[in-house]
Structure 1
Amino acid sequence: MGQVTVRVGGYSHPVSCEDGQEAHLVALAAEVDRRVSSVRTMGGSYGESRLLLLASLLLADEVHDLKVELAQARAGMLPPAAPTDPRLAERLARVAERIEGIATDLGKG
């Protein structure tokens, strides 16, 4: 089992992952960190838990939008001009599942 330490919001977090997924996990943590930074620019003084919650909500909102788009793509409801790649829907579903799993893991820590 792999182990990495990621930095989010200025704090270090040790996280376990499947072997070979370390770089992917670091990239995901960097995305969460970007969201935390975005929340900070909105103003207000938040603790680490609140920052992570708000960043998670931003990511969850994006995942929701992707799921809606995925459902529309599967139902053939995309605008005719939009190019569709049958593998794209599957990739988006896998990405959404990974994000949800990581958000759950972060919530346990």
Structure 2
Amino acid sequence: MADTTLHIAGRQYDIVVRDGEEQHLARLAKMIEEKARVAQRSTPGLTEVRTLLFAALFLADELNDRRRELAGRQEALALEADDEAAVRAIEALAARIEKLRDGLAAPAASA
């Protein structure tokens, strides 16, 4: 385990993390710090708790947007996949129709 210090909203937080996770946590803390600054600029005089609350809400809003975006992409991919299945089914039906046509044409040709 490793000790690291995070700086968020003008405060210092000493925490223990798994070895090798220090840089990852520092990047996450930087994201929170950026949102905390936005909250402090847009609403001066916020308490520490409210600053962190707004930072969390901003991040949750971004996460929600990304999840909706991802769901839309997954839905589009599912539709594309369905199109491929439909194309295969239509091609199989076309092949069957041609086979039936050839079967019907053969007795007429021999008559």
TM-score of Structure 1 vs Structure 2, range by shorter chain: 0.5 to 0.7
Q: TM-score by structure 2 length?
A: 0.64
Structure 1: tracts of 5 or more residues without a match:
78-109
Q: Which residue of 2 aligns with 1:104?
A: none
Give the whole-Å Cα distance in 2 for the aligned partners of 1:45 and 1:30. 21
Partner of 1:10: 10
Q: Equivalences for 1:26-65 in 2 at 5 Å?
A: 26-65=26-65
Give % identity: 31
TM-fit CA distance, 1:40: 1.0
Bigger Rg, structure 1 or 2: 2
Of stretches 58-67 and 35-44 in structure 1, the one that deviates more from structure 2 is 35-44
For residues 16 and 72 of structure 1, what CA distance do their matches in structure 2 show? 38
Normalising by structure 1, we get a TM-score of 0.65
Q: CA deviation at 1:18?
A: 2.3
The separation in 1 between residues aligned to 2:30 and 2:44, in whole angstroms, is: 22
Which one-letter code corresponds to 2:28 in the other structure?
L
1:24 is matched with 24
Q: CA deviation at 1:54?
A: 0.4
Count of residue pairs the alignment pairs up: 77
Does residue 66 (structure 1) correspond to residue 66 (structure 2)? The answer is yes
Counterpart CA distance in 2 for 1:47 and 1:18 is: 31
What is the alpha-carbon distance in structure 2 between the residues aligned to residue 74 and residue 16 of structure 1?
37
* Between structures 1 and 2, the one with greater helix share: 2
State how far apart, in whole Å, the 2-side matches of 1:8 and 1:44 are: 16
For residues 35-83 of structure 1, what are the alpha-carbon distances to aligned partners after superposition, in whole Å with 9 as ceiling and x for unaligned?
1111111133111111000000000000000111111111126xxxxxx
Q: Could you tell me how far apart the structure 1 residues matched to 2:69 and 2:15 are? A: 31
